[in-house]
Structure 1
């Protein structure tokens, strides 16, 4: 049971990281276009 929760948390964490990375990448691209 605990293992399942850990896996879910990891998955959400990775998804958040991916979203963050995309946001940061978008910001960099926007900055370059100025």
Structure 2
């Protein structure tokens, strides 16, 4: 059971990190577009 909980936790953190990364890269690309104008 402990092992399963660890896997679920890792999956959640991985998804959260991916979301964070997508958010940051989205911000960066918006900033890039602003600079290019």
Relative to the length of structure 1, the TM-score reads 0.95
Secondary structure class of the residue paired with 2:29 = helix
Gaps of 5+ in 1: none
Other-structure match for 1:4: 8
Determine if the alignment matches structure 1 residue 15 to structure 2 residue 22: no
Pairs aligned (count): 33
Gaps of 5+ in 2: none
The structure that has the greater radius of gyration is 2
